[in-house]
């Protein structure tokens, strides 16, 4: 192999991203100099945060420039190493982007093994989404046994882990998801006590019926009308971990929250958080999740798309909620 295949950003999209906003290119195969290693990527993660990186708007991280390789988490195998900390054949998880081969200094890579869990899980339940769920729930929401925890995007990569962790904390857990398939999965496979289909209408009324004693902890992944409905059922001194606002990422007309009065009346503690602000807790979370997944205490589902050329379609499908669990792209 003498060339690398990459997907770069072709346009800064307005509204929903289109496949035409990406471009597949060939480039020279990178060579490892002293201290470097060359990685053959086997798995690629596509995640909601990537929509923000495609924008020129101010955010918590720099955006991707036109012509640059799209940012993304990857699992790959070291095929050449000039770095004493890595050997040929090592598998590593990192953020080497939408490409088949990547050069790295090794600084942001972690060696992984498939002895206990599959490699792909290091991009989902045993990776960034899992750590996000763990830190957001346990450190920010701090649920107590017997409390009610509400989770939006309950069957997604982050939400599915949040719900199961809350059950391990002996909480009553209610999910919000789109469609009967996702709601049934949350209850029957993940162990949620109830799950409300926001597509069925009358979400606030449905939440009141499913949460008769109100909500003590809310893990927010969606925003918009879903967040408004959730604010209406919060208890006094409840805690909200504001992790994502996926309903607004593609909007050119942002939704205005109407239930802010509830925040004041109930003295709600809302905390926005980004998992990379908590690197001190990240490794601890992963080290806890891996054995739980291996033992079956935490279940997961992956939606797998094959081929780097299909990564844009997988990303767009995930943003429209068509995936169940974690969306990944199999490269090798």
CATH number at residue 30: 3.90.180.10
Q: Over 80: is that where the pLDDT of 217 sits?
A: yes
Q: Over 70: is that where the pLDDT of 1 sits?
A: no
Q: Are 75 and 172 within one domain?
A: no
Structure tokens at 85: 């900390």
Average of per-residue pLDDT across 284-302: 97
For residues 94 and 110, give the distance between their C-alpha atoms in angstroms, rounded to a whole number: 7
Range of the domain at 176: 128-276
293 lies in a domain? Answer: no
pLDDT score recorded for residue 146: 98
294 lies in a domain? Answer: no
pLDDT score recorded for residue 305: 98
| The domain boundary residue, chosen from 235, 260, 276 | 276
Q: Are 170 and 114 within one domain?
A: no
pLDDT score recorded for residue 58: 80
The answer to which of 178-182, 224-228, 246-250 has the lowest mean pLDDT is: 246-250
The backbone torsions φ and ψ at residue 232, rounded to the nearest 5 degrees and listed phi first, read: -75, -15
286 lies in a domain? Answer: no
The backbone torsions φ and ψ at residue 114, rounded to the nearest 5 degrees and listed phi first, read: -100, 15
pLDDT score recorded for residue 121: 98
Q: Are 86 and 45 within one domain?
A: yes
Average of per-residue pLDDT across 164-175: 98
Q: Are 119 and 133 within one domain?
A: no
For residues 149 and 139, give the distance between their C-alpha atoms in angstroms, rounded to a whole number: 14
For residues 311 and 94, give the distance between their C-alpha atoms in angstroms, rounded to a whole number: 17
Average of per-residue pLDDT across 250-274: 91
pLDDT score recorded for residue 62: 85
Give the CATH number of the domain where residue 209 resides. Answer: 3.40.50.720
Q: With bands split at pLDDT 50, 70 and 90, how would you rate the model's confidence at 181?
A: very high
Q: Helix (H, G, I), strand (E, B), or coil: what is residue 115?
A: coil
Q: Over 70: is that where the pLDDT of 22 sits?
A: yes
At 117-144, the pLDDT tens digits run 999 999 999 999 999 999 999 999 999 9
Q: Over 90: is that where the pLDDT of 213 sits?
A: yes
- Chain center to CA of 243: 9
Mean pLDDT of the chain, nearest integer? 95
Could you give the number of structural domains in the chain?
2
Q: Are 44 and 92 within one domain?
A: yes
Q: Are 90 and 217 within one domain?
A: no
Q: Are 7 and 88 within one domain?
A: yes
Q: Are 50 and 186 within one domain?
A: no
Q: Over 80: is that where the pLDDT of 316 sits?
A: yes
Average of per-residue pLDDT across 48-73: 91
Q: With bands split at pLDDT 50, 70 and 90, how would you rate the model's confidence at 256?
A: confident
292 lies in a domain? Answer: no
Please state the length of the chain.
332
At 70-98, the pLDDT tens digits run 999 999 999 999 999 999 999 999 999 99
pLDDT score recorded for residue 101: 97
Q: Are 118 and 132 within one domain?
A: no
Single pTM value for the model: 0.94
Q: Are 204 and 260 within one domain?
A: yes
pLDDT score recorded for residue 241: 97
For residues 199 and 179, give the distance between their C-alpha atoms in angstroms, rounded to a whole number: 6
145 lies in a domain? Answer: yes
295 lies in a domain? Answer: no
Q: Are 165 and 85 within one domain?
A: no
Average of per-residue pLDDT across 295-322: 97
290 lies in a domain? Answer: no
265 lies in a domain? Answer: yes
Q: Are 58 and 197 within one domain?
A: no
Q: 35 — alpha (psi -120 to 50), left (phi > 0) or beta?
A: left
For residues 220 and 230, give the distance between their C-alpha atoms in angstroms, rounded to a whole number: 9
């Amino acid at each position: 192999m003498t060339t690398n295949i990459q997907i770069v950003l072709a346009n800064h999209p307005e509204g929903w991203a289109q496949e035409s906003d990406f471009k597949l290119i060939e480039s020279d195969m990178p060579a490892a100099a002293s201290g470097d290693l060359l990685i053959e990527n086997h798995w690629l993660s596509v995640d909601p945060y990537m929509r923000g990186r495609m924008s020129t708007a101010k955010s918590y991280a720099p955006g991707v420039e036109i012509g640059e390789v799209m940012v993304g988490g990857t699992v790959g195998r070291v095929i050449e190493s000039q770095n004493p900390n890595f050997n040929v054949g090592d598998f590593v998880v990192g953020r080497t982007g939408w490409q088949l081969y990547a050069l790295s200094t090794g600084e942001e890579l972690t060696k992984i093994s498939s002895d206990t869990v599959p490699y792909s899980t290091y991009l989902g339940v045993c990776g960034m989404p899992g750590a996000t769920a763990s830190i957001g729930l346990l450190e920010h929401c701090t649920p107590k046994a017997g409390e009610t925890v509400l989770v939006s995007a309950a069957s997604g990569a982050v939400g599915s882990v949040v719900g199961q962790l809350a059950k391990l904390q002996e909480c009553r857990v209610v999910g919000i998801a789109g469609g009967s398939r996702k709601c049934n999965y949350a209850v029957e496979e993940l162990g949620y006590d109830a799950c409300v289909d926001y597509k069925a209408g009358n979400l606030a009324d449905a939440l009141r019926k499913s949460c008769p004693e109100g909500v003590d902890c809310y893990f927010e992944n969606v925003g918009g009308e879903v967040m408004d409905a959730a604010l209406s059922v919060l208890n006094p001194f409840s805690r909200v971990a504001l992790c994502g606002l996926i309903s607004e990422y593609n909007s050119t007309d942002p939704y205005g929250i109407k239930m802010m009065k509830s925040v004041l009346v109930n003295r709600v503690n809302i905390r926005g958080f980004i998992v990379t602000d908590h690197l001190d807790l990240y490794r601890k979370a992963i080290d806890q999740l891996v054995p739980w997944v291996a033992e079956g205490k935490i279940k997961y589902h992956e939606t797998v798309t094959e081929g780097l050329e299909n990564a844009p379609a997988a990303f767009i499908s995930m943003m429209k909620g068509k995936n169940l669990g974690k969306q990944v792209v199999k490269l090798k």
